[in-house]
Structure 1
Amino acid sequence: MITRQLRKIESMIAGAKWIGENVQIHGVSIDSRTVVQGNLYIPIIGPNSNGHDYINGAIQNGAVATLWKKDQPNPPQDIPTIFVEDTLIALQQLAASYRNQLKQATFIGITGSNGKTSTKDILHQVLSTRFKTKKTIGNYNNHIGVPLTLLSLDEDVEMAVIEMGMDHLLEIAFLSDMVKPDIAMIMNIGSAHLETMGTLENIAQAKCEIVTGLKKDGVLVVNGDDDLLLKETKRHSCKQLTFGEKSSNQLYLTSFHQGESSLQFTASNSNSMFALSLIGRHQAINCLAVMQVAHLLHLSEADIQTGFRQVQLTTQRNEVKRFGSVTIINDTYKSNPESVKAAIQTLESLPNRKRKIFVMGDMVDLGEQAVALHKQIGTYIAEANIDMVLGSGDLTFHTITSIQERDTSPQADFFLEEEKLIETIIVLAKEPCTILLKASRSLQFDKVVEAIEKRLMK
């Protein structure tokens, strides 16, 4: 984490004015509840709260200094203070300056509509076999999370894997300028953020902004299966490496086998079989992207194999738990048409003969196309080789209706009440089955999963 005297911190922020003792800070926090001894507290003004109001709590928890927006009243008198025009901008400037001082580290930036977090986790594990490696914690991938991630890096870090998300044009460009990646990765383009971005073309343009801060001799690793994405990346002159399913890619999948809780695959550059304790063909594609980066950084095949065997994903991403003859797959962090299709394909590919049940909640942020896309995904699911679909959510109603209109579809039922959905799942779980739950985070299906798991553990 960043460790600097306040005099140095002041010099890293434009227009800052420091008052008080020249103490040394160890790390930063924007949340008074998570402050630990030695931290610099950075109070952020948000839509629902003002971090300046919690300065006393930050001091009680160990903050030794604070940033303070100049127009905010009642600055603290008992710890040193750096006055700034805007504390959020100051956080970002401090992070950008600190990143520039980490000259020995290699920075890898990751973006894409789906698979960012899983790929980050896999890449982190592979690089950790040879290097001191740090990654974005959880989903800290925006204009606040990325600066916090940068400031959490130790001075002797060798590899930094930074996830970058976006809600609008120029956001990834801003983050890329801050991170200045040596290697940039674009996993794919999908329907996520159609509500704010309008078209897939705009989403492709926004994702390609990751090259904005790419070093002069940097490399872009890109999914070559996506024609729209490739069309956009061709506008950029940086070196590019492709991965994917198609044999036109520089690295492509040559075989895939799905086990009940693990996968195996082969790739075009090796005769070896690679194995991970993950499920889903899409995870094998994510691994190809990781392998391209690993090759750039001169890791051996043995290093890659070792890293793959040790992978553990962030929670709510294809998280598998077993309760006797019942398997629960929790994929409730994010949902859009592309990731729902990947989830269905995963459920279909599982080799067990148990009943396969798909539980779906709304896909959000799809804008004017939301209803149409929910109907379309229903048409897709209707052709799937699964046994049952349960749905909940205003938009998912259209998915279930679309499935029910097909004579050969899996059984499909819609639930207005969450408790009735849970009760139905518990009854179904009296027989051997695999249940995959998929929804956008705002549907809070993680609570549905938690309720089901508690009941199954009794």
Structure 2
Amino acid sequence: MRPEELYKYFLAVDGISTDTRTITSDCMFFALKGPNFDANQLAEEALKKGAKYAVMDNPKLITDSEKMLLVPDVLTALQGLASYHRHQIGLPIIALTGSNGKTTTKELIHAVLSKKYNTTATVGNLNNHIGVPLTLLSISEEADLAIVEMGANHQKEIEQLCEITLPDYGYITNFGKAHLEGFGGVEGVIKGKSELYDYLRENHKTVFVNADDTLQVEKSIGIDAVSFGINNPSAKVIIKEATAQPMVKVVYKGKEIQSQLTGKYNISNICAAIAIGEYFGVAPEEIQSAIEEYKPKNNRSQWMTTTNNKLLLDAYNANPSSMAVAVENFAQLSADNKMMILGDMFELGVESENEHLLLVEKVKQTPLSCYFVGKQFYQIKQESENLQFFEDFDILKKYLENEKTSGKTILIKGSRGMSLERLIDLL
């Protein structure tokens, strides 16, 4: 079944599902396969739960030829349908990738553009080879603009996502030490993320570039660019001032914009949203209100006050680059009784031990006490007055239950697999 044929069925449904636990009435269920499962076996269950159609690639399991739609490969069909839908709606799409700050930047851009347009954006972090098609298929005819976040952990993935999404605009937040195992090192990260630049250049599209990041400027040469920077005369959009003590504040067109985001690392995220808002004609006062109203969520740089402590929860994800700037920022904050709880960083491959060791050395350069948790950190544990190492979460949990920490300002950060948000109740 070709994408245009499948599209006729898509127009008759109300949403897409790839999980029988989240089936909605009259949706289209895509029976994806994984290393340990084959959702073709769950197609009948999906239909019983209310799905209107089930897209399958195992003819032996088709029991209802009207509701079970056979394709050669379900994942390819999902991606092809999404690309076909993108052609049909024809609206401008901004693609966004980078090692750190993708989701926060996406949400800031969404907040700013929504002041003037009916804007659709990636929900959460549905940013991979499955999530991007789902995002595209969620775009309605009423939308004016779409912001599509693209994640990758190996080369050629951004290239594939661009071929599906066909973006008109693009922005790369930064190149950092993320997914080193899949990319094959930092140079691999740069090459892989720059596939967005390659697409924009080859297709004569437009890029937004941080003029203060010389590497981004270099890699985006040859593309029609809208640049932004802090008091940078070479930039098209100039932000006059930017500070982060502790919340980011910028001055743009005479307006002092006080955000609810902490850390110097969020300055470029805010500036990108300002530049994109200006390019699309959002009024300065609307840009200001959008940024000032935006509150971080989903364990990303969230300030939380518990009965006993004040927490800076940044436990959604971590890599060497984001860890380093988080530690630097936290060390500079004006706050009493500061300490940190840092969890293992995943997907670093052969660089893992060295990168964890480098972070420990960085923490030692601060006057702060720190609890390191996870097998990677525990393997390089050191004797130190300010540092303690815990092999796993349960051991740290027992320690904190006995210690009854109070009166502290605590940074909590680690990779998603560490689930360090579980510490909230303990602190």
* TM value normalised by structure 2: 0.91
The one of 396, 404, 412 aligned to 2:377: 396
| CA–CA separation in structure 1 for the residues paired with 2:417 and 2:281 | 41
Q: Where in structure 2 are the equivalents of 1:103-122 lying within 5 Å?
A: 103=90, 105-122=91-108
Given the superposition, is the C-alpha separation of residues 343 and 249 from structure 1 closer, same or farther in structure 2, using an over 3 Å criterion? Answer: farther
CA shift, 1:66, in A, is 1.8
Q: Which moved more, 1:224-233 or 1:110-119?
A: 224-233
Report the secondary structure of 2:388's partner residue. strand
Other structure's SS at 2:411 match: strand
Spell out, residue by residue over 1:255-305, the C-alpha distance to the aligned partner (whole angstroms, 9 max, x if none).
31424xx432235xx332111112111112210111111111011111111
- 1:241 has 2:249 as partner: no
AA paired with 1:198?
Answer: G
Report what 1:434 is aligned to: 409
Does the alignment pair 1:359 with 2:350? no
Structure 2 CA distance, aligned partners of 1:325 and 1:127? 39
Would the alpha carbon gap of residues 17 and 275 (structure 1) be closer, same or farther in structure 2, given more than 3 Å must change? closer
Alignment partner, residue 331 of structure 1: 314
Does the CA-based 8 Å contact 1:218-1:239 persist in structure 2? Answer: yes
Alignment of 1:275-294 (within 5 A): 275-294=258-277
Shift of 1:23: 8.8
User: Could you say which residue in structure 2 is the equivalent of 1:372?
Assistant: 354
Is residue 2:371 matched to residue 1:384? no
Q: Are 2:210 and 1:223 equivalent residues in the alignment?
A: yes
Give the Cα–Cα distance (whole angstroms) in 2 for the partners of residues 22 and 107 of structure 1: 21
Aligned pair partner of 1:35 in 7, 16, 23: 23
Structure 2: 5+ residue runs without aligned partners? none
The unaligned stretches of length 5 or more in structure 1 are: 1-9
Letter of the 1:363 partner, please give it: M
Counterpart of 1:74 in structure 2 is: 61
Deviation at 1:22, TM superposition (A): 11
Instruction: Give the corresponding residue for 1:274.
Output: 257
Secondary structure of 1:329's aligned partner:
strand
% of aligned pairs identical? 27
Cα distance between partner residues in 1 of 2:248 and 2:167: 30
Q: Secondary structure at the match of 1:25?
A: coil
Question: Cα distance 1:438–1:284, how it changes in 2: closer, same or farther (>3 A)?
Answer: same
User: How many residues in Structure 1 have an aligned counterpart in Structure 2?
Assistant: 424
Q: 1:205 to 1:282 in 2, by over 3 A?
A: same
2 CA distance for matches of 1:396 and 1:64?
Answer: 49
The answer to whether the 8 A contact 1:360-1:396 is kept is no
Q: CA deviation at 1:75?
A: 0.5
CA distance in 1, matches of 2:402, 2:225: 51
Post-superposition Cα deviations, 1:391-427, rounded to whole Å, max 9, x if no partner, equal 11122236653xx56xxxx711111242342244456
Equivalence for 2:49: 61
Match of 1:7 in 2: none
What does residue 344 of structure 1 align with? 327
1:207 shift after superposition:
0.8
- Alignment partner of 1:147: what SS? helix
Name the amino acid aligned to 1:359.
I
Tell me if structure 2 keeps the 8 A contact 1:43–1:50: yes
Q: How many Å separate the matches in 2 of 1:206 and 1:444? A: 27
Question: CA separation of 1:168/1:253 partners in 2, compared to 1, >3 Å: closer, same or farther?
Answer: farther
Query: Cα deviations across residues 66-107 of structure 1 (Å, max 9, x unaligned)?
Result: 2121x441203274232211010000000000011112x221
Q: Who is 2:425 aligned against?
A: 454
2:245 to 258, 265, 278: 258
Please tell me whether the aligned partners of residues 25 and 38 of structure 1 are also in contact (alpha carbons under 8 angstroms): yes
Tell me the secondary structure at the aligned position of residue 425 of structure 2. helix
Amino acid in the other structure paired with 2:373: S
Q: Does 2:23 match 1:12?
A: no
Say if 1:93 and 1:22 are closer, same or farther in 2 by CA, change over 3 A.
closer
CA distance in structure 2 between the partners assigned to 1:349 and 1:427 by the alignment: 29
Matched residues in 1 for 2:7 and 2:243: separation?
59
1:178 pairs with 145, 164, 169, which one?
164
Aligned-partner residue type, residue 208 of structure 1: S
C-alpha contact 2:132 2:150 (8 A) present in aligned 1: yes
> How far 1:439 moved relative to its partner?
0.9
Q: Distance in 1 between matches of 2:285 and 2:7?
A: 52
Secondary structure, aligned partner of 2:61: coil
Which structure 1 residue ranges, 4+ long, deviate > 6 Å from structure 2? Answer: none
TM-score (normalizing by structure 1): 0.85
The amino acid across from 1:48 in the alignment is N
Relative distance call for 1:256 and 1:427 in structure 2 (3 A) is farther
Instruction: Report if aligned partners of 1:118, 1:314 keep a CA contact under 8 Å in 2.
Output: no
Task: State how far apart, in whole Å, the 2-side matches of 1:366 and 1:430 are.
Answer: 32
- Give CA deviations for 1:185-236 in whole Å, capped at 9, x if unaligned: 00000111211212322211211111354394532113344444433323xx
Aligned to 1:157: 143
